[in-house]
C-alpha cells in the first residue's frame, strides 16, 4: 500500500491518546474511500468524465462514483446553479449520509462567476449548503478537480471536514437563506424535518 | 420544373396578403404577414406545401418600435426549405391564438415564450411555468427588465474578499504595455 | 462443538479476505483494461470499513433493518453447508448434516429476504432491480438445476462431500467426466456471479444499483461484505462440484481463482443483456445442451 505515506506516518507519531489514534484511523479510511455523486449542474459536468476515466483516473485515489445519494460521501456540484436546480441539490444533499462533503467546481458557486447578473442563478452556494472545497476556475480542468479532491482528503484527515455537522447546527440560518430565494415554494417539510430537534418544520 | 423558393413565395403571395418577403439565402425565406393571416399561412404551408415540422418559434423584443416580432420557422423534408413567418404583436397584453393544433410541438415553444416574454397564447393546453419556478413580476427576457437591479434585490453578492479586486481589462492593458516597453528596451 | 464454531468463524474470515482480494484484483484488472492505474488491491476493504464507519444510515422500519441481516445470514448459512476442503477436518462447517438440494434452497433465501426489505423502502429503482433479479432467476436456475441433476445422478449421491471425494484424479474430475453438465453450469455460474452479460439487476446507470439503491452506511457495508462472501461460496461450490475439490487452502485458492478469472474475462468482454434477453439466452443454448445431456444420460441408464 502506497497510501500510508510519510505525511501520514508523521501525523501518526504525534498522536498521544488511544482514542485519537482510533479517530485518526477512521478518518484515514474515510479519506481513502470517497464515493462521489457527480451532480452535473452546469458546464463542469463535462470535466467529470475525464477525471474518472483513463486519462486522469480518479479511482487510484479511492474516488469512485456512487449510484445514489444514500451511498455517496461527496456531492460534486459542477458549475452554476439555477434556483430550480438548487432545490433539487438541497434535497439530494439532505438524503446523503453523514459524514458528507460538498465540492463546488468553478467560479459560479463562489460568487456567481460570469452569471453574476443573471436573474435565475444563485451567487453564493455556501449560503445555502456547507461547502467544504471550492475549486476556482472557469471551468477547472481535471487536474484542478483532482487537486480539489486532494484538498478534501487533507481536510478529512485533519477531522475538519464537518460540513454536515455545521449544516445540522446552523440549520435555521441555512433554511432562512434558502427561504429567501425559494419564497413560498420552499422544500416540503418532510425532506428536512429531522434536522429540527423539536420536530418543527419550516 | 424544379421547385425554387421564389416559386413557393409567389404561390403564397397569390393566396395571402403578404406585407413583405425576402429570400435570406438558398432555401431560407422570411415573410411578414398580419396576425389574422398567420394561421391561414401556416395551415397552407403544412397541408398544401408539405412543410412537415415547426422547427421553432422565436420572439424578439423591439422595444424602440414597441412591438414583439414572433417568427414561426417551418421546415420541409421534401424540398428542404425553411420558411419564417413573422408577425408583429403589441408589447403589452398581446395575445396570439395558439398554433398547437397545426404542429403539436408548438405548445412547448409557446410555453417558453409565454414565460420569458409574457405573450399570451389562448388555446394552448399546457401554458404553465417552464424554467422558472414561482416567478412573480415582469417576464425576464423583456428588454425593460432590469436584471442587475433584480439581482441586487434578490441575491446577496459576495462582498468580503473582493477588496483587492482589479478591473481585468485595465490590468491586462497595463501588463501588455509593460511587456511592450520591455521588448522595446531589449530591441535597443 | 468449539472446534465447529471456530471452524465456522474461520470460514467467514477466509471467504471475506479471499473475496476482497479477488474483487480487488477485479477492479485493478478492469482498470488495466481501461488503461488506468486503478485502485490499490485493498480498496474494497477500505471501502467496506468506511461504510461501517459512517455515522448515519437511513431506516424504514424493522423489515428494512432485517433485509441486509437476512442476506448476510443466508450467505453465511449456505457457506456453512459447503465443505471447503476434502480429506480434512478443517473448514467443513456443518456440511455433514446437509446436502446439495438443501444448499440450492439456502442460496435463494438471502436475496428473497432482501427483496422484502427493498419493498418496504419503497424506492422504485430498488423494486425494479428486484423484479429484474427474479426474472433473471427464471433463466439462471433451469440450466443450473439440470447440471446439478446430471451430477447427482452421475455420482449417485446428493452429498457434496461425497461428490467431491469421488473425484480422486484429474480424469475423474466432474468437468472431465461430465463435460456437458460443466458447460451448462458455467452459463448459470456467470449469471449467478452477476458478471457483465447478466448484470441487469444492479445496472448503475439504468436502475441506480437496483436493490441497493436505498441502502447506505452500514447496510451497504453489510451488502458489500456479503456480496464478496457469497461470490466466494459459489466459487468454492463450483470447485467442489466440478474441479475436484481441494486438499488445502492454497489449492482451493488456485482453483477458485481460475474460475474467478474466467468470470472476470467474460465480464470484461461482453456488454449487458437486457432482462428478457438474458432469460431468452439462458433458455436457448444452455437449456438445449442440458436437456440433450439429460436425455443421453437416461438413455444410457
Residues B172 and A60: their CA atoms lie apart, in Å, by: 40
Q: B42, B6, B54, B56: which is closest to B27 by C-alpha? A: B6
The three cell numbers locating residue C250: 492454497
Domain of A61 in residue numbering reads as 31-182
Give C-chain residues touching A22 at CB under 8 angstroms: none
Number of domain units in chain A = 1
**Section A70-84 average pLDDT:** 91
Interface of B with A in 125-184 (CB under 8 A): 131-134, 140, 145, 147-148, 150-151, 154-158, 162
| Domain harbouring A131, CATH code | 3.40.50.12280
CB C146 within 8 A of CB C288: no
The three-class DSSP label of residue C248 is coil
The three cell numbers locating residue C59: 431506516
Domain ranges of chain B: 5-133
Q: Give DSSP secondary structure letters for B8-64.
A: HHHHHHHHS-EEEEEEEETTEEEEEE-TTTHHHHHHHHHHTS---EEEEEEEEEETT
CB C232 within 8 A of CB C257: no
Burial degree of C267 (CB within 10 A; 0-12, 13-18, 19+): buried
**Section C55-61 average pLDDT:** 83
Query: Could A53 and C34 be called an inter-chain contact, meaning their C-beta atoms sit closer than 8 Å?
Result: yes
Q: How many CB atoms lie within 10 A of CB B78?
A: 10
Number of domain units in chain C = 1
Residues B59 and B109: their CA atoms lie apart, in Å, by: 10
Query: Could C220 and A70 be called an inter-chain contact, meaning their C-beta atoms sit closer than 8 Å?
Result: yes
Check pLDDT > 90 for residue C171.
no
Q: Tell me what ipTM this predicted complex has.
A: 0.88
- For residue C165, name the pLDDT band (cuts at 50, 70, 90): confident
Q: Does A1 touch chain C (CB under 8 A)?
A: yes
Torsion of CA C198, C202, C208, C213, to 10 degrees: 160
Q: Which of C35, C39, C206 to mutate to test the interface with A (most CBs of A within 10 A)?
A: C39
Q: How many CB atoms lie within 10 A of CB C46?
A: 22
Residue bearing cell 419564497: A183
Task: Select the residue of A33, A65, A70 nearest C216 (Cβ to Cβ).
Answer: A70
Q: C206, C212, C239: which is closest to C225 by C-alpha? A: C212
- For residue A200, name the pLDDT band (cuts at 50, 70, 90): very low
Subunits in contact with chain B (3 or more CB pairs closer than 8 Å):
A
**Section C39-61 average pLDDT:** 90
Please tell me the predicted confidence (pLDDT) of residue A3: 54
**Section C78-100 average pLDDT:** 85
Q: B83, B98, B79: which is closest to B33 by C-alpha? A: B83
Give B-chain residues touching A107 at CB under 8 angstroms: none
Q: C117, C19, C119: which is closest to C75 by C-alpha? A: C19
Fold classification of B5-133 (topology level) = Beta Polymerase; domain 2 (3.30.460)
Domain of C34 in residue numbering reads as 2-300
CB A145 within 8 A of CB A81: no
Residues C189 and C183: their CA atoms lie apart, in Å, by: 10
Pairing of strands B82-90, B28-33: parallel
* Chain A residues within 8 angstroms (CB to CB) of chain B: 82-84, 87, 110-112, 116-120, 122-124, 127, 180-185
Residues A167 and C5: their CA atoms lie apart, in Å, by: 46
Please tell me the predicted confidence (pLDDT) of residue B85: 93
pLDDT tens digits, residue range B53-82? 999 999 999 999 999 999 999 999 988 899
Please tell me the predicted confidence (pLDDT) of residue C154: 84
Check pLDDT > 90 for residue C263.
yes
- Residue B118 DSSP symbol: -
Please tell me the predicted confidence (pLDDT) of residue C47: 93
What is the three-state SS of chain A? CCCCCHHHHHHHHHCCCHHHHHHHHHHHHHHHCEEEEEECCCHHHHHHHHHHCCCCCHHHHCEEECCCHHHCCEEEEECCCEHHHHHHHHHHHHHCCCCCEEEEECCHHHHCHHHCCCCCECCCHHHCCCCCEEECCCCCCHHHHHHHHHHHHHHHHCCCCCHHHHHHHCHHHHHHHHHHHHCCCCCCHHHCHHHCCCCCCC
Q: Give DSSP secondary structure letters for C155-208.
A: HT---HHHHHHH--SGGGSHHHHSHHHHHHHHHHHHHHHT-GGG--TT-HHHHT
Distance from the first to the final alpha carbon of chain C: 42
The three-class DSSP label of residue B85 is strand
Residue B180 phi/psi, 5° resolution?
Answer: -60, -45
- Residue C217 DSSP symbol: T
Please tell me the predicted confidence (pLDDT) of residue B158: 81
Query: Could A70 and C125 be called an inter-chain contact, meaning their C-beta atoms sit closer than 8 Å?
Result: no
CA distances from C204 to A41, A91, A97, B12, C200 (A): 20, 21, 19, 54, 9
Bridge partners, A134 (sequence order): A104
Residues B52 and B34: their CA atoms lie apart, in Å, by: 23
Residues C43 and A83: their CA atoms lie apart, in Å, by: 38
Q: Does A190 touch chain C (CB under 8 A)?
A: no
CB C175 within 8 A of CB C182: yes
Q: What element of type H or E holds C259?
A: helix C249-269
Residues B56 and C247: their CA atoms lie apart, in Å, by: 74
Share of chain C above pLDDT 90, in %: 36
Give A-chain residues touching C20 at CB under 8 angstroms: none
Residue C210: asked if its preceding bond is cis (omega within 30°), the reply is: no
Chains B and C touch (3+ CB pairs under 8 A): no
Residues C164 and C239: their CA atoms lie apart, in Å, by: 9
Q: Does C44 touch chain A (CB under 8 A)?
A: no
pLDDT tens digits, residue range A39-66? 988 888 899 999 999 999 999 999 998 8
Please tell me the predicted confidence (pLDDT) of residue A4: 63
- For residue C245, name the pLDDT band (cuts at 50, 70, 90): confident
* Residues in contact with C288: Cβ distance below 8 Å, sequence separation at least 6, in sequence order: none
The three cell numbers locating residue C127: 423494486
Please tell me the predicted confidence (pLDDT) of residue C53: 92
Q: How many CB atoms lie within 10 A of CB B149?
A: 11
CA distance A118 to chain C (A): 33
Please tell me the predicted confidence (pLDDT) of residue A202: 46
Q: Which of A85, A120, A178, A185 to mutate to test the interface with B (most CBs of B within 10 A)?
A: A120
Q: How many CB atoms lie within 10 A of CB C218?
A: 17
Amino acid at each position: 500500500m502506497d497510501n500510508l505515506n510519510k505525511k501520514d506516518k508523521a501525523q501518526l507519531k504525534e498522536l498521544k491518546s488511544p482514542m485519537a489514534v482510533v479517530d485518526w484511523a477512521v478518518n484515514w479510511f474515510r479519506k481513502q474511500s470517497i464515493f462521489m455523486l457527480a451532480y452535473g449542474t452546469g458546464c463542469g459536468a463535462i470535466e467529470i468524465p475525464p477525471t474518472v476515466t483513463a486519462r486522469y483516473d480518479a479511482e487510484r485515489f479511492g474516488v469512485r462514483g456512487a449510484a445514489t445519494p444514500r451511498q455517496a460521501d461527496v456531492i460534486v456540484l459542477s458549475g452554476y446553479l439555477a434556483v430550480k436546480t438548487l432545490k433539487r441539490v438541497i434535497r439530494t444533499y439532505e438524503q446523503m449520509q453523514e459524514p458528507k462533503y460538498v465540492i463546488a467546481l468553478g467560479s459560479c458557486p463562489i460568487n456567481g462567476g460570469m452569471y453574476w447578473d443573471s436573474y435565475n442563478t444563485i451567487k453564493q452556494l455556501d449560503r445555502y449548503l456547507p461547502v467544504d472545497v471550492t475549486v476556482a476556475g472557469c471551468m477547472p480542468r481535471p487536474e484542478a478537480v483532482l487537486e480539489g479532491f486532494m484538498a478534501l482528503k487533507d481536510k478529512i484527515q485533519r477531522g475538519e471536514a464537518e460540513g454536515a455537522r455545521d449544516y445540522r447546527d446552523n440549520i435555521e440560518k441555512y433554511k432562512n437563506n434558502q427561504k429567501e430565494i425559494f419564497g413560498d415554494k420552499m422544500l416540503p417539510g418532510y425532506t428536512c424535518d429531522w434536522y429540527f430537534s423539536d420536530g418543527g418544520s419550516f | 420544373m424544379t421547385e425554387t423558393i421564389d416559386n413557393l413565395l409567389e404561390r403564397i403571395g397569390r393566396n395571402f396578403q403578404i406585407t413583405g418577403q425576402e429570400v435570406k439565402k438558398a432555401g431560407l425565406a422570411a415573410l411578414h404577414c398580419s396576425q389574422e393571416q398567420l394561421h391561414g399561412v401556416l395551415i397552407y404551408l403544412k397541408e398544401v406545401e408539405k412543410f412537415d415540422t415547426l422547427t421553432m418559434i422565436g420572439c424578439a423584443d423591439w422595444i424602440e418600435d414597441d412591438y414583439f416580432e414572433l417568427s414561426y420557422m417551418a421546415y420541409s423534408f421534401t424540398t428542404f426549405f425553411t420558411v419564417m413567418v413573422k408577425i408583429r404583436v403589441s408589447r403589452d397584453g398581446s395575445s396570439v391564438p395558439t398554433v398547437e393544433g397545426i404542429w403539436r410541438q408548438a405548445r412547448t415553444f409557446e410555453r417558453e415564450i409565454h414565460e420569458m416574454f409574457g405573450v399570451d397564447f389562448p388555446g394552448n393546453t399546457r401554458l404553465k411555468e417552464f424554467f422558472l419556478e414561482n416567478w412573480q413580476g415582469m417576464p425576464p427576457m423583456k428588454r425593460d427588465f432590469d436584471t442587475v437591479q433584480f439581482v441586487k434585490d434578490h441575491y446577496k453578492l459576495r462582498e468580503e474578499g473582493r477588496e483587492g479586486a482589479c478591473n481585468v481589462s485595465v490590468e491586462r492593458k497595463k501588463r501588455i504595455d509593460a511587456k511592450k516597453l520591455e521588448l522595446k528596451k531589449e530591441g535597443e | 462443538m468449539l472446534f465447529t464454531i471456530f471452524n465456522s468463524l474461520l470460514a467467514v474470515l477466509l471467504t471475506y479476505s479471499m473475496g476482497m482480494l479477488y474483487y480487488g484484483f477485479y477492479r485493478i484488472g478492469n482498470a488495466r483494461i481501461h488503461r488506468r492505474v486503478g485502485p490499490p488491491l485493498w480498496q474494497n476493504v477500505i471501502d467496506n470499513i468506511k461504510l461501517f464507519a459512517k455515522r448515519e444510515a437511513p431506516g424504514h422500519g424493522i423489515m428494512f433493518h432485517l433485509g441486509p441481516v437476512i442476506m448476510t445470514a443466508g450467505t453465511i448459512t449456505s457457506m456453512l453447508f459447503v465443505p471447503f476442503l476434502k480429506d480434512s477436518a478443517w473448514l467443513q462447517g456443518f456440511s455433514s448434516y446437509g446436502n446439495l438440494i438443501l444448499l440450492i434452497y439456502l442460496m435463494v433465501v438471502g436475496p428473497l429476504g432482501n427483496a422484502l426489505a427493498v419493498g418496504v423502502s419503497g424506492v422504485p429503482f430498488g423494486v425494479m432491480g428486484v423484479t429484474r433479479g427474479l426474472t433473471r432467476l427464471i433463466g439462471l436456475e433451469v440450466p443450473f438445476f439440470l447440471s446439478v441433476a446430471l451430477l447427482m445422478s452421475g455420482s449417485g449421491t446428493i452429498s457434496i462431500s461425497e461428490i467431491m471425494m469421488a473425484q480422486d484424479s484429474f480424469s475423474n474430475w466432474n468437468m472431465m467426466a461430465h463435460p456437458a453438465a460443466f458447460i451448462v453450469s458455467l452459463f448459470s455460474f456467470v449469471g449467478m456471479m452477476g458478471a457483465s452479460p447478466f448484470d441487469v439487476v444492479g445496472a448503475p446507470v439504468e436502475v441506480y444499483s437496483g436493490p441497493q439503491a436505498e441502502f447506505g452506511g452500514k447496510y451497504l457495508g453489510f451488502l458489500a461484505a456479503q456480496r464478496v462472501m457469497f461470490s466466494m461460496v459459489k466459487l468454492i461450490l463450483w470447485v467442489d462440484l466440478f474441479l475436484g475439490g481441494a486438499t488445502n487452502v492454497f489449492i482451493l485458492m488456485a482453483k477458485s481463482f481460475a474460475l474467478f478469472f474466467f468470470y472476470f474475462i467474460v465480464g470484461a468482454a461482453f456488454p449487458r443483456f437486457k432482462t428478457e434477453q438474458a432469460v431468452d439466452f439462458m433458455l436457448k443454448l444452455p437449456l438445449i445442451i442440458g436437456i440433450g445431456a439429460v436425455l443421453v444420460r437416461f438413455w444410457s441408464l
